Chains A and B, each alone.
Chain A
Amino acid sequence: MDRRESIKSLFVGAAAGSLALASCKPELSTVEREALSTGATNYGRTPEEDAQIAALHAQQFFSEHDLESLGVLCALILPANEDFPSATEVGVVDFIEFMAKDYEPFQTPLRGGLMWLDHQANKLFGAEFKKLEEGQQHEILEAIAYPDLHVPDSERPLEVRFFSLMRNLTLTGYFTTETGIKDLGYKGNIPNVWDGVPQEVLDQHGVAYEPEWLDKCIDQSTRGTQAEWDEDGNLLT
């Protein structure tokens, strides 16, 4: 069942590392700004749920320095391209701040991972990660961005796990914004009438509908007609 499967992958742990760009002030759409700014939501929360969200918004988990480092890191993970902004520009840092408060097991790996990043930056280049040049940031990330798939996630080095977690949160944060969904090209969540896979898509993937199967399916020109059956269950309308 979709419902069950869709929640399965939620909390995948992971590790550290990264590079940086200068931190940007997020450029949010009005809707995104509304959703992120306060606990006042408009998506069917119960009063208790709204109160819980408002309480989380009222807290601050990351320090200013952490937030700046996250901004640099998120933009290194998903920088702007010609058509779309970076993850940082669409508010992914705010999303990560919220998730750290909402899901306590994220807190130490994220905060500690950022400390590790500065430690590594200081050791190699004598400055905090966010202040390094982009080439230096890339150098740090190169060492932590490619997990060894033969090692189970839980046994990978902490900095690799940190970076994997950051990459996951950055991508999920980006692709669940209005901008990210436009970038992805998702066309749904809009009332429509499903009438099968477009022919060119069937051709592209080398599959076809069986005529006998199509005969069973709804003729969408009759969807508004009241259903009536004979006594053997044959649809008459």
Chain B
Amino acid sequence: MQIKESSKMYDAVIVGSGAGGGMATKILSEAGLNIAVVEAGPHFDPANPEQQTQMKWPWESPRRGANTQRTFGDFDALYGGWDIPGEPYTRKDGTKFDWFRARMLGGRTNHWGRISLRFSERDFKHKDVDGLGENWPIGYEDVKPYYDKVDKLIGLFGSKENLPNEPDGFFLPPPKPRLHELFYIKGARKSNIPVIPSRMSMLTKRINPERGICFYCGQCNRSCSVYADFSAGSCLIFPAQKNGGQIDLYNNAMVREVLTNAEGKATGVSYINKTDRKEYTLRAKVVVLAASACSSARILLNSKSPQHPNGLGNSGDTVGKYLHDSTGSSRAAFVPDLVNRKQYNEDGVGGMHVYTPWWLDNKKLDFPRGYHIEVWGGMGMPNYGFGFNANEYNKFFGLKVGGYGNSLRSDVKKYYGSVVGFGGRGESVAQRDNYCEIDPSVVDQYGIPVLRFHYKWTDFERKQAKHMHETFEELIHNMGGEALSEAPGADREYGLEAPGRIIHEVGTTRMGTDPKTSVVNEFQQLHDAKNVFVVDAGPFVSQADKNPTWTILALSWRTCDYIVEQLKMQNI
């Protein structure tokens, strides 16, 4: 097979089109650069009627939305998941890591929860507080101007709260809480657990003429056809194209490696065209990796050359190390005061209108780092699974469970909207021994060596999960509810989800000043190759008790400003 070379020389090739790659596409193209964007999946536009799942009804799916085909069910926007046919990965030493991958333009931003939180100064320098992990080489003041710009460009709702660890931004006003959220607020107040309006990137108010305003269908995971929520395609890549950006989009193109020259500098990338299964190369002055933390690490580790025998950027043997995901554990409760509800439309935005940021002092606890609490419930649209165990909560009233006949109709209506759920999402401490590496024995269907994962939770995370359940039980008690399951014990790691399940994996190309212990510098530039940058969550030194997306966006913008400046100065 002959590798097909493109004669075109790009200023930058961007690998991946999610939050980091989408932002890079916008910033670099608007600076006048000539860009190639290489995406492993197909084109996707939520406004395309052929791809739209928003505002569809359950009966339009013969499986009523069940998740037998798509990972999160038929109506979720995402193509991809933890298991992709023909694209395996392996694990060793009893590791349970599950690797989530999107394969579509816009990546995971098409279906994510839109929880958009800023890291605080403490989050960037947490080693100073508890001596664990590592500090970032940058702090809040370095990133704040970019958070501000992201807020104004993309838009999010929230409220100014003046909390030291939850920096405020440029918010649109939040929507009012739903009924079950009022119960949550009341329950949390009893235990002095703070609750504030959510901070999420849906437009409750107009932000620019190109994007629509939320019409409260509660279906952000289906990706918004009027672009009222943030997805990288709708909010970054399409506007960049409309602004006249010189952008060549390569879809269904799976990058294999970064190509380098005799000086060790990158010259472009090679990729497999999934349609004809041939290998191609693209040439560029700058390579920007935004393929997701583990995919970018994989590309670097597979980019071996005489100048980079251990893989590109891996002279310090740090690529793939310090992999960490958010901790997560969940619980749900039946709330008797929420039975027999009057019907009205409470779809709201997709996800919660209120949440609890981390509120305790770890010095008084037996684990480091905190977690926030996400809340769910309400009278959502029926989907596959609705009506299962229809009258199970009869047990709380001493009534018979099961049966048949028309009483089931009234049971379903009686209990509709009476369940409230809680999800704890917390910070784990990055460990060098949690990593991904190349498995030399296994290949994917494109001929590319695959990743192998090694990951163990520590007692830090287990104790944190135990604390989550103690909090959930207190909240359930305060709400007059009945927990739907027993508290998971030590045998189940206190309900701690396997790493990878929360889909916040970060840290595999960590940022730092020392090339021996980090992969990129504070501008997410490889120590080992000055014209290669990583703008996904790989450079995260620690991930806070926050969702990573808003920080990915801010850091990608900051890096792109640096790239433009360095190109002008002819430093790269």
Chain A interfacial positions (CB closer than 8 Å to B): 1-7, 9-10, 12, 18-19, 31-32, 35-36, 41-44, 46, 49, 52-53, 56-57, 76-79, 81, 84, 95, 98-99, 102-103, 141, 145-147, 149, 163-164, 167-168, 171-178, 180-181, 183-198, 200-202, 204-210, 213-214, 216-219, 222-227, 229, 233-235, 237
Contact = CB atoms under 8 A, between A and B. Distances in A.
Given A3-B111, A188-B346, A78 B402 contact: no
B173 A219 contact: yes
Given A43-B74, A167-B390, A175 B412 contact: yes
Nearest to B189: A210
A188 B217 contact: yes
B75 interface: yes
A52 B348 contact: no
Contacts of B73: 6-7
Contacts of A174: 387
Contact of B206 (A32, A223, A233): A223
B174 A218 contact: yes
A4 B219 CA distance: 13
Interface in B291-337: 330, 332, 337
Given A102-B68, A184-B412, A216-B173, 16 more contacts: A3-B221, A5-B423, A7-B73, A12-B388, A35-B60, A43-B52, A98-B63, A163-B404, A175-B386, A188-B379, A189-B57, A201-B179, A207-B179, A223-B204, A233-B169, A237-B205
Given A164-B402, A188-B218, A233-B169, A99 B66 contact: yes
A41 B60 contact: yes
Interface of B: 42, 50-53, 55-70, 72-77, 79, 111, 113, 115, 148, 151-152, 155, 157, 159-160, 168-179, 182-183, 185-186, 197, 204-208, 213, 215-219, 221, 330, 332, 337-338, 341-352, 374, 376, 379-390, 395, 400-406, 408-409, 412-413, 416, 421, 423
Given A187-B344, A227-B155, A81 B409 contact: yes
A176 B344 contact: no
B401 A217 contact: no
A172 B386 CA distance: 5
Contact of A6 (B177, B179, B380, B395): B380
Nearest to B216: A194
12 contacts: A2-B218, A36-B62, A103-B68, A171-B390, A186-B381, A188-B381, A189-B219, A190-B345, A201-B179, A217-B173, A217-B176, A224-B205
Contact of A167 (B66, B221, B404): B404
Contact of A181 (B51, B57, B206, B421): B57
B113 A1 contact: yes
Nearest to A233: B170
Nearest to B339: A205
Contacts of A185: 343, 413
A70 to B, nearest CB: 14
Contact of B376 (A5, A181, A206): A5
